[in-house]
Amino acid sequence: MVLFMSVCFPSPYVLGAQLHPSGCRFTLYAPDQDCVHLLLWHQGHQPQRLAMREYKRGYWTRDVADVVAGQEYSFEVLQDGQTWYLADPYAQAVTGPLRYQPPYSPSQSTLLARCQVVDHESFDWQGVSSPQRAIQDTVIFETHVKGLTQQHPDVAPVQQGRYLGLVSPTMLAFYQQHQINCLQLLPITSCLPEPHLLSQQKTNYWGYNPYVWMAPDPRYAEKSAVNELKTAIRELHRHDIEVILDVVFNHTAEGGEGGPILHYKAFDHAMYLHDGQQLRNYTGCGNTLDIRHPAALKQVLDTLCMWVTDYHVDGFRFDLAATQGRNGDTFNPQNAFFLAIAQDPILSKVKLIAEPWDIGPDGYQLGQFPINWAECNDKIRDTTRSLWRGDPGILQDFATRLMGSRDVFSAAHWPDHLPINYVTYHDGFTLQDVVSYAKRHNHANGENNRDGHGDNRSANYGVEGPTNNPDIIEVRRRQKRNMMASILFSLGTPHILMADVLGHSQQGNNNAYCQDNPISWLNWQTQDHDWSNWLATMIARRNAIVPRFIDALSGTQRHCNQITWRHPNGDPIHDHQWSKLQALSCQITLGAHHPDAGQSILIAINSSDTAHDLRLPPNHQWRIVCDTATGETTVAPLASCQRLAAKSFLVCIDGDWL
């Protein structure tokens, strides 16, 4: 008997550059083109120019022998009478310079469009697996790969501002010390600055102008972005830290009319929503992805699966996620994108977080995403800032936010559909600036201070910006404790800006998207260690206390517990009194069906400028675990009648079960 060994070739419908035993198959979906050439670049030589074959309508393919990982390539097409070099939308690495000189031209595309063949099979994961932490046990820390370590004096210079800097010994020790169990990275896929930024010699520092979705940004690597990012994720997992990627599928760097031709505008113009001949702009960036288009849906799903299977990421935060639910001018939570993810054996198991809006019609969709999604809860941000700033009539709404915003996120769908509770995000003031500036100061952005959000709900407490006045400094510290405690001890998943762990200020800039400089880079020399240590202690206590109450209030168990609202003096709160409240207490006691039956948590809030007597029911052994009035971290007994300080947030547990 003669045995024949077959060579397994990738399907021509698997897009991108697919290595196989004898070479590489390049496949591109370009239904708008009548002729496509593959260019293979060799250092110091003219490119090898190979005609591609249209395998089926729109699918172009070419097999090339002896191609190995690292080979640079791009595509060539004739568009509007000009020869353009275009990037592979499915490329998993890019090598071209991620900037150009506006206006973008065919001659500049020669370098920019270069991609690289990648071999994912060669990386050694060393048997390290993901922590797979439940969403209610997660505290998300949002950070920028470069900004986190660019100025850290104890990170090796070769690693500063890079993927490997995330897992330097210094940073791993910092995560452990500060109870950090999940990093949410601002976009790390390759991106391009917008033309107006390039004209000003600026860049899109945040990374929200995507170029090639599957390719990690090479600027954060010394040699190989692919291997160095994988190494960072592997080592974070080894230390029980999850990684969530902020992804941008609402638009691309091709922008609107007149924007650069990078790929889709020439390959498949139907990728974008159109209004006649014009591109719709529901993102503020010139174009909007049309998720109803089969190729767009396939590209997004394939990209997500790649990040999970090849990089082992633990979840995604979707920028302007309402765009993914668009049916033109309306939002549909049952559209093909959401259904595809819900049934996918890979994507249905990772964390999915929506920024639940865009700027188009029907764009604000908080609480309307499918039940397997968490959502960024801007309502608690606004209410928390307003409450502690002293705005009247806020406490009633804050009480709703404290209890998990169940007017928006039904506890029947917890813990899968939880609010992501935050008081600061990358877009906006840092927490230090929320208590230091009454107005934005975005002059460095070059837009005459017109950019950025105008409704910051901030206060400076007497001086705009930094001060040496000890009284103002102490008020600011207390207000920071109040706002952070409000997020940590509300029901939901806390989201914390890494800059806020250090007490970093952006000098009043609330839209530092183009500030790739010390405005955005964390200043480790000025870290407020007292604040950081207090915050780490509160995070640890939140992790020990809050998840059990979320579990008890989730699903069918949610009605089996006791929740009691009182005035500070112990009297019950009547319906007509809520709108004028400035202080209250809330007690949650776990019901008989819960494993921790009988355990109670008490939260007392005083948003006024006057202290109150706090009277509690007898026969309890309350212990203080958080008191923002003092900043003390010692667990201490609570007297049966104690003063509830002005502008303070108090958390107690009944017993010694912490």
Instruction: Output the CA–CA distances (angstroms, integers) from residue 233 to 117, 136, 313, 564, in the order listed.
Output: 21, 22, 7, 44
Give 126-152 as a 3 state SS string: CCCCCCCCCHHHCCEEEECHHHHHCCC
Radius of gyration of the chain (CA): 27
β-strand 419-422 against 374-377: which pairing, if any?
Answer: parallel
Determine the Cα–Cα distance for residues 465 and 438; give it in Å rounded to an integer: 9
CB 389 within 8 A of CB 381: no
Would you please indicate which residues are annotated as catalytic (active-site) residues?
319, 355
Q: Is 631 exposed, middle or buried (0-12, 13-18, 19+ CB in 10 A)?
A: middle
CB 214 within 8 A of CB 310: no
- Smallest CA-to-CA distance from 605 within 561, 577, 568 is with 568
- Smallest CA-to-CA distance from 243 within 181, 193, 200 is with 181
Determine the Cα–Cα distance for residues 612 and 44; give it in Å rounded to an integer: 78
Encoded amino acid at 60, one letter: W
Which residues does 240 contact at the CB level (< 8 Å), separation at least 6?
A: 131, 181
Signed CA dihedral, 566, 570, 573, 578: sign only: negative
Task: Please provide residue 386's backbone torsions phi and psi, each rounded to the nearest 5 degrees.
Answer: -65, -45
Instruction: Output the CA–CA distances (angstroms, integers) from residue 494 to 182, 184, 418, in the order listed.
Output: 11, 12, 10
Instruction: Give the position of tokens 């979705």.
Output: 213
Determine the Cα–Cα distance for residues 178 and 459; give it in Å rounded to an integer: 27
- Smallest CA-to-CA distance from 611 within 645, 566, 569, 568 is with 645
Determine the Cα–Cα distance for residues 583 and 499; give it in Å rounded to an integer: 30
Task: Please provide residue 373's backbone torsions phi and psi, each rounded to the nearest 5 degrees.
Answer: -115, 145
Instruction: Output the CA–CA distances (angstroms, integers) from residue 446 to 31, 437, 452, 492, in the order listed.
Output: 40, 20, 12, 38
